[in-house]
């Protein structure tokens, strides 16, 4: 076999992957263009900034969720972790902890929750669906117990202003997506453990017999997911200025949807970082556009559902051909 044909095939394959990424980006742009013509308020600075803020948090959740899904797992707890972490952050700030300490402790809570998921899956042998479903409901309960069902108001302007401010023309929240996305990309596609995540998702036994530390890899995936969720909890607390355990209801489904729209396979071993990011902003644009067009918010849910079916179906067609 000549080297020419080799590199040609490889190039064709990787260009097909990029093509899918570009198709998603194209879809996003097409929606934006249509909305700019059909509504007066879409293409205003205020709205675009708002859209970026809305999409950012789901985008970060989706990146964490993607690590887990690539290992053929699922993390249903991310929404609850976000809500729980708003409570932790608010409680710490009202008890005169510094912002730095608050951030460190809250992220530490995320790490601990992820480790617990890893423990449940690796050591106790529980299915990921079950252990993360259990934490989903328990964390909301613990959060409500801490606040006694009430909402904690955050009186710390430095903290709350962060989410409203901009930096070089982009909202701070959007910068946070880049802050998470770039290292996540390097980790997943260019590091050893990033590859192990794919290997575990493809064939756990083959990975183990190849010397991959499968347990550590599973721990890592869930810890990353929960830590991303804890980070989003901090951002949400800053944005709404309160700590409330019932916040971020249903965000886990939006995160999973973004990931799947972005080309992640629920059968494992297929996924990227840029896909879920674009997926999250597609969902945010749909919601934003529907609001501006005065579409009944119930319709938004239906449209999201149909869109998931459509995009994943086209992705399946593409894979079957390839």
Partner 1 sequence: MVGTNPHGQAADAAIAAASVPILELRGLEKRYGATHALKPADLAFVRGEIHAIVGENGAGKSTLIKLLTGVITRTSGEVFWEGQPVALATPHEAIEFGINAVHQEVVLCRHLTVAANMFLGDEDVGFGLLRKGEMTRKAQAILDDLGFQLPAHVLLGDLTIGQQQLIATARASIRGTRFLIFDEPTAYLTRTEAAQLFALIRRLKERGVTIVYISHRLEEVFELSDRVSILRDGTLVGTRITSDTNETELISLMINRSLEQIYHKEFFPAGDVLIETKNLSGPGFHDVSLSVRAGQIVGLYGLIGAGRSEFVLSLFGRHRKTGGSIVWQGKEVDIRSERQAMDLGIALAPESRRDQGLCINLPVGFNLNLPIFPHITMAGLVPFSADRQRADRQINDLQVKTSGRGALVSSLSGGNQQKIVIGKWLNHGARLFIFDEPTVGVDVGTKAEIYRLLARLLAEGAGIILISSYLPEVYELADELHVFRRGEDVARHAYHAASHEEILSEAIGV
Assess 6 for contact with partner 1 (CB under 8 A).
yes
What is the DSSP secondary structure assignment for residue 154, as one 8-state letter?
A: P
CA distance 241 to 247: 12
Cβ atoms of 226 and 77 within 8 Å: the answer is yes
H or E stretch at 170: strand 170-171
H or E stretch at 216: helix 214-240
Assess 123 for contact with partner 1 (CB under 8 A).
no
The closest alpha carbon to 251, from 236, 240, 261, 268, belongs to: 236
- List 47, 208, 291, 312, residue binding partner 1 (CB under 8 A): 208
H or E stretch at 287: helix 274-292
- Only one residue has tokens 């809500």, namely 83
CA distance 252 to 232: 12
- List 67, 198, 219, 231, residue binding partner 1 (CB under 8 A): 198
- List 5, 148, 158, 294, residue binding partner 1 (CB under 8 A): 5
Nearest-approach distance from CB 205 to partner 1, in angstroms: 5
DSSP letters, 58-117, are: HHHHHHHHHHHHHTT---TTHHHHHHHHHHHHHHHHHTT--HHHHHHHHHHHHHHHHHHH
Assess 14 for contact with partner 1 (CB under 8 A).
yes
User: Which C-beta is closer to partner 1: that of 8 or that of 150?
Assistant: 8
**By three-state DSSP, how is residue 96 classified?**
coil
The interface region with partner 1, picked from 81-89, 104-112, 205-213, 308-316 by CB under 8 A, is 205-213
Phi, psi dihedral angles at 273 (to 5 degrees)? -95, -40
Site for partner 1 in 277-306 (CB under 8 A): none
Assess 15 for contact with partner 1 (CB under 8 A).
no
Nearest-approach distance from CB 208 to partner 1, in angstroms: 6
Nearest-approach distance from CB 320 to partner 1, in angstroms: 13
Assess 270 for contact with partner 1 (CB under 8 A).
yes
Site for partner 1 in 209-268 (CB under 8 A): 209-213
Cβ atoms of 89 and 234 within 8 Å: the answer is yes
Nearest-approach distance from CB 155 to partner 1, in angstroms: 41
Nearest-approach distance from CB 206 to partner 1, in angstroms: 5
Nearest-approach distance from CB 297 to partner 1, in angstroms: 39
Assess 316 for contact with partner 1 (CB under 8 A).
no
Cβ atoms of 262 and 274 within 8 Å: the answer is yes
Nearest-approach distance from CB 215 to partner 1, in angstroms: 10
Cβ atoms of 214 and 204 within 8 Å: the answer is yes
CA distance 34 to 29: 9
The interface region with partner 1, picked from 4-12, 20-28, 37-45, 308-316 by CB under 8 A, is 4-12
Q: Where do contacts with partner 1 occur on this chain (CB under 8 A)?
A: 1, 5-7, 9-10, 13-14, 186, 190-192, 195-196, 198-199, 202-203, 205-213, 269-270
């Amino acid at each position: 076999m000549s080297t020419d044909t080799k590199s040609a095939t490889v190039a064709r394959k990787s260009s097909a992957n990029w093509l899918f990424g570009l198709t998603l980006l194209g879809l996003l742009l097409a929606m934006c263009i249509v909305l700019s013509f059909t509504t007066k308020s879409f293409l205003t600075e205020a709205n675009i900034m708002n859209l970026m803020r809305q999409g950012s948090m789901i985008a970060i959740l989706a990146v964490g969720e993607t690590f887990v899904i690539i290992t053929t797992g699922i993390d249903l707890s991310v929404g609850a972790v976000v809500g729980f972490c708003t409570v932790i952050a608010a409680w710490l700030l009202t008890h005169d902890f510094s912002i730095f300490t608050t951030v460190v402790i809250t992220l530490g809570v995320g790490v601990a929750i992820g480790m617990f998921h890893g423990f449940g899956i690796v050591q106790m042998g529980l299915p990921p669906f079950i252990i993360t479903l259990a934490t989903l409901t328990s964390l909301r309960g613990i959060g409500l117990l801490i606040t006694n069902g009430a909402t904690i108001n955050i009186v710390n302007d430095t903290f709350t202003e962060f989410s409203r401010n901009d930096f070089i023309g982009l909202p701070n929240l959007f910068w946070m997506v880049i802050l998470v996305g770039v290292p996540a990309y390097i980790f997943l596609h260019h590091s050893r453990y990033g590859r192990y995540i794919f290997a575990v998702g493809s064939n756990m036994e083959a990975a183990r017999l190849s010397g991959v530390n499968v347990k550590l890899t599973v721990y890592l995936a869930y810890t990353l997911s929960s830590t991303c969720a804890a980070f989003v909890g901090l951002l949400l607390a800053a944005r709404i200025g309160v700590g409330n355990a019932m916040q971020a209801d249903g965000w886990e489904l939006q995160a999973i949807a973004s990931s799947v729209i972005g080309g992640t396979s629920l059968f494992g071993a297929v996924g990227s970082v840029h896909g879920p990011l674009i997926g999250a902003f597609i969902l945010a644009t749909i919601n934003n556009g529907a609001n501006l067009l005065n579409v009944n918010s119930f319709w938004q849910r239906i449209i999201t559902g149909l869109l998931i079916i459509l995009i994943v179906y086209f992705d399946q067609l593409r894979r079957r051909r390839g």
